Structure 1
Amino acid sequence: MGKKKKQFAIIGLGRFGGSICKELYEMGHEVLAIDMNEDKVNAYAPYSTQTIHANAAEENVLKALGIRNFEYVIVAIGADIQTSILTTLFLKEMNIKNVWVKAQNHYHHKVLEKVGADRIIHPEKDMGVRVAQRLADEKILDYIELSEDYSVVELRATRKLHDKTILELDVRAKYGCTILAVNKEGKVEVAPNPETRIEENNCFVVLGRKRDIQRFEDEGISAAF
Structure 2
Amino acid sequence: MKKKNRTFGVIGLGRFGYHVARTLAQGGAEVIACDVDEEKVREVSEYVSLAYVLDATDAKALKESGIANVDTAVVSVGENIEASILIVVQLKELGVKEIVAKAVNPLHGKVLEKLGVDRVVYPEKEMAIRVAHSLLAGEFIEEIPIGEKHSVFELKAFDFMLGKTLRELDVRRRFGVSVLAIKRGENLIVNPMGDEKILPGDILVVLGTTEQLSTMASQ
- Is the TM-score greater than 0.5? yes
User: Which residue does the alignment assign to 2:65?
Assistant: 65
The verdict on how the C-alpha distance between 1:208 and 1:55 changes in structure 2, with shifts beyond 3 A counting, is: same
Which amino acid in the other structure matches residue 16 of structure 1? F
Work out the CA distance in 2 between the residues paired with 1:54 and 1:41: 10
Alignment match, 1:205: 205
> Which is further off, 12-21 or 65-74?
65-74
1:80-159 equivalent positions in 2, closer than 5 A: 80-159=80-159
Q: Write the distance in 1 (CA, Å) between the matches of 2:93 and 2:214.
A: 43
Q: Which deviations, in whole Å up to 9, do the C-alpha atoms of 1:137-195 show, x marking residues without a partner?
A: 42222334444422332222123212333344333344333223211124233443444
The alignment's C-alpha RMSD in Å is 2.5
SS across alignment from 1:20: helix
**Secondary structure at the counterpart of residue 117 of structure 2:** coil
- Aligned residue for 1:198, secondary structure, equals coil
Query: Once the two structures are superposed, what CA deviation does each residue of 1:23-77 show, in whole Å capped at 9, x if it has no partner?
Result: 2223332111111122222232212111112222233333333323212211111
Q: Secondary structure at the match of 1:101?
A: strand
1:182 aligns with 2:209: no
- 1:86–1:54 distance in 2 versus 1, CA, 3 Å: same
**Uncovered stretches (5+) of structure 1, i.e. residues with no partner:** none
Report the CA distance shift for 1:57/1:190 in structure 2 as closer, same or farther (over 3 A). farther
What TM-score do the two structures reach when normalised by structure 1?
A: 0.83
Distance in 2, Cα, partners of 1:139 & 1:65:
45
Aligned amino acid, residue 33 of structure 2: A
Structure 1 position 116, deviation (Å): 1.7
> Per-residue deviation at 1:127?
1.7
* Equivalent-residue separation in structure 1 for 2:87 and 2:194 (angstroms): 49
Secondary structure, aligned partner of 1:87: helix
Q: How many residues align?
A: 218
The alignment-based identity, stated in percent, is 37
Shift of residue 81, structure 1, vs aligned partner: 0.9
SS in 1 for 2:127: helix
CA distance in 2, matches of 1:201, 1:42: 41
- Which consecutive unaligned segments of at least 5 residues does structure 2 have? none
Moved more, 157-166 or 109-118: 157-166
2:198 is the counterpart of 1:216 = no
**TM-score, with structure 2 as normaliser:** 0.85
Match of 2:34 in 1: 34
Moved over 6 A (4+): none
- Tell me by how many angstroms 1:136 deviates: 4.0
